[in-house]
Amino acid sequence: MKMLEQYHLYVYFFSLISATIFLYKWLTLRKTALKNLPPSPPTFPIIGNLHQIGPDPHISLRALAEKFGPLMLLKFGSVPVLVVSSADAAREILKTHDLVFSDRPISSVANRLFYNGRDVAFALYSEYWRQVKSMCVTQLLSSRRVHSFHNVREEEVALLIRNIEYPPSKIVNLSDLLAELTQNVVCRVALGRKYESGDKGNSYKILLGEIMELLGYSRSMGDFFPLLGWVDWLNGLKAKVEKAANEVDTFLEGVLRDHPSTVASNNGYANKDFVSILLEIQNTDAGSSMDKDCIKALIWDMFGAGTDTTSTTLEWTIAALIKSPDVMVKLQKEVREIGRGKSNISEDDLVKMNYLKAVIKESMRLYFTAPLIVPREARQDVKVMGYDIRKGTQVLINAWAIARDPSLWENPEKFQPERFLNSPIDYKGLHYEYLPFGGGRRGCPGIQFAMAVNELAVANVVHKFDFELPNGETREDLDMTGVTGITLRRKSPLLVIATPHV
């Protein structure tokens, strides 16, 4: 009898639980059905739309957007992802609802490499993020501070020119020299010194390359499939990330250990490198969030953002000029007329070089260094262009596709700098058809820093040299294929024969 009573009790509880689950699912499905969600391609169970994303995600997503529209909802595993592929839709995300989409999705790889989101690029939107971004802009990236580094840029560009003019062999590897230029500039303004070959330099360069690869190609299974995080141990991702993170920490500990002690001075932070400023804030401002992990995260942020993207932009620009001799001749004419009689181009000369500015803008349009703007995440439910977007939805803005939209750009696949002459379109994030640095409050804060290096380097290189390709190659042979990572790099190094212009 007792067993029968227990049996009825079990049946009762089982029925109650089943009814509760059924009711919950019914209400959830009904609620979902009432939502006006963006168009979506068909999904596979468990993986969602991941099978439709190829090795070049920006190209795969543009192809899907051509079928399903400029605002498209995908599923990456269990994660909803909103893909934005038009200027109007980008404006909705970056301007109309900028605050709603100001968060970053949690990335296990980025968290481990950047001290649990203590940096600017990957930190969650918070008071901490606002403080450290403001500090980075004020102390390193403001117009005043960028201008104060002009001697560093001019000295390092002069060194670049010497290395091109007197190479160890007839064939010059411009890719390596441009990477060295940007690394030297960033090291000098951030650390107060260069890290050259034999002085932690090679290990630093290799490590930076590994980090860029991990951030670009490697997403934790746990990020998309919470129950499958253990797979990262089996496929070796956890070990790679852990090794890289430990090497980053060892390098940065050495940077701080070797850095001269800082003493507060009456002239504030003028002429001080970034590390000195951070250490001084840590020592003198008791209310600051500045601890050692924060300092290390911000230093590494400046390295990654300041070197890789800038050298990649320079490489694409010079390759595009070699590929388009008419444009090269026109640019050389402008630069050489303004620089007539000068051994090098100074930053004061750049103000007059309108075609130079148009060339760099066009290069950044056609050869996006970051085709997909760093992902954002919705902080709350919101309606975008009539569609309901749920809290926690990740957002990918396909800036590469927008910049090649034939409804916005005439002959979008052609390298044509003239399109930017007498045009109000700029790269500062206010023209949504053109977003090389992103936009909104999570846009890249280093625009002025990067463009100062880009313009000075390109102007001096084309002022000083004429280029041809080695081994009898013609400009038609020049490979303009990109390799997708956190940045879109050239697949092949840029090898040239440089002849000094007389």
Q: Express each pLDDT in 194-235 by its tens digit.
A: 876 555 555 667 777 778 777 765 567 788 888 878 888 888
Confidence (pLDDT) at 249? 92
Confidence (pLDDT) at 51? 92
Identify the segments of the chain with pLDDT beneath 50: 1-34, 263-266
Please name which of 440, 446, 454, 453 lies closest in space to residue 137, comparing C-alpha atoms.
446
Residue in the block written with tokens 């005439």: 410
Confidence (pLDDT) at 226? 82
> What is the C-alpha to C-alpha distance for residues 398 and 154, in angstroms, rounded to an integer?
35
Burial class from Cβ neighbours inside 10 Å (0-12, 13-18, 19+) for residue 53 reads: middle
> Would you identify the CATH topology of the domain 32-500?
Cytochrome p450 (1.10.630)
User: Which one-letter amino acid corresponds to residue 103?
Assistant: D
Binding-site entries: 444
Cβ–Cβ < 8 Å for 73, 37: yes
Cβ–Cβ < 8 Å for 357, 368: no
Orientation angle between helical segments 237-258 and 201-217, nearest 10 degrees = 140
CA count, 13 A, side-chain hemisphere, 358: 20
Question: Left if phi > 0, otherwise alpha if psi is -120 to 50, otherwise beta: which for 124?
Answer: beta
Q: What is the DSSP letter of 276?
A: H
Q: How do the domains of the chain map onto residue ranges? A: 1-31, 32-500
User: Which one-letter amino acid corresponds to residue 141?
Assistant: L
> What is the C-alpha to C-alpha distance for residues 468 and 420, in angstroms, rounded to an integer?
27
> What is the C-alpha to C-alpha distance for residues 451 and 465, in angstroms, rounded to an integer?
21
Cβ–Cβ < 8 Å for 453, 185: yes
Q: What is the pLDDT of residues 329-351, one digit of tens each?
A: 999 999 999 999 899 999 999 99
Show the tokens assigned to 82.
């909103």
> What is the C-alpha to C-alpha distance for residues 356 and 350, in angstroms, rounded to an integer?
8
Cα torsion at 34, 39, 44, 47 (round to 10°)?
-90
211 three-class SS: helix
Average pLDDT, the chain: 87
Residue in the block written with tokens 């993170």: 245
> What is the C-alpha to C-alpha distance for residues 197 and 403, in angstroms, rounded to an integer?
38
> What is the C-alpha to C-alpha distance for residues 256 and 386, in angstroms, rounded to an integer?
51
The whole-model pTM stands at 0.88
CA count, 13 A, side-chain hemisphere, 455: 21
19 three-class SS: helix
Cβ–Cβ < 8 Å for 41, 68: yes
176-193 burial code (b ≥16 CB/10 A, e <16): ebbbbbbbbbbbbbbbeb
Other C-beta atoms closer than 10 Å to the C-beta of 66 total 11
User: Which one-letter amino acid corresponds to residue 378?
Assistant: A
C-alpha of 295 from chain center: 20
Instruction: Kindly report the backbone phi and psi dihedral angles of residue 496, in degrees, each rounded to the nearest multiple of 5, phi listed first.
Output: -140, 165
Binding-site entries for heme: 444
C-alpha of 390 from chain center: 26
Show the tokens assigned to 244.
């890289």
Pairing mode, strands 387-389 and 465-468: unpaired
How are strands ordered across the β-sheet holding 172-173? 172-173, 495-500, 465-468
Pairing mode, strands 79-84 and 394-397: parallel
Strand partners, 135: none
> What is the C-alpha to C-alpha distance for residues 208 and 441, in angstroms, rounded to an integer?
26
